[in-house]
Amino acid sequence: MTEQGAFTDNTEAKRYELAVDGGIIVATYNLVDGGVMITETITPVPLEGKGHASALARHVLADIEARGSRSCPSAPSSPAG
């Protein structure tokens, strides 16, 4: 059984964290003019494929909205080659 713990905004590290089953799912961010840009999500391998990153994303978007801010898209990746 999956046990979800605390959702936190670690402002010093500029990352959201969701404690799950002894691990931490992370979404790093930068504050940009007009909002918050999520730059990366990190899920420990043993926790992959269980919907934890989706749960974190829901928490993150709700938190950004509750603060009266908005999420900003990141720049698209350059094509390889």
pTM: 0.82
63-79 per-residue burial string, b: 16 or more CB within 10 A, e: under 16: ebeeeeeeebeeeeeee
Confidence of residue 3 (pLDDT cuts 50, 70, 90): low
Question: Is residue 72 situated within a structural domain?
Answer: no
32-49 per-residue burial string, b: 16 or more CB within 10 A, e: under 16: eeeebebeebebeeebee
Question: Is residue 80 situated within a structural domain?
Answer: no
Q: For residue 41, give its domain range.
A: 4-66
Question: Is residue 11 situated within a structural domain?
Answer: yes
Tell whether the model's pLDDT for residue 74 goes beyond 80.
no
Tell whether the model's pLDDT for residue 80 goes beyond 90.
no
- Rounded mean pLDDT of 54-59? 94
Question: Is residue 17 situated within a structural domain?
Answer: yes
Number of domains in the chain: 1
Mean of the per-residue pLDDT values of the chain = 88
Encode pLDDT of 16-42 as tens digits. Answer: 999 998 899 999 999 998 899 999 999
Question: Is residue 74 situated within a structural domain?
Answer: no
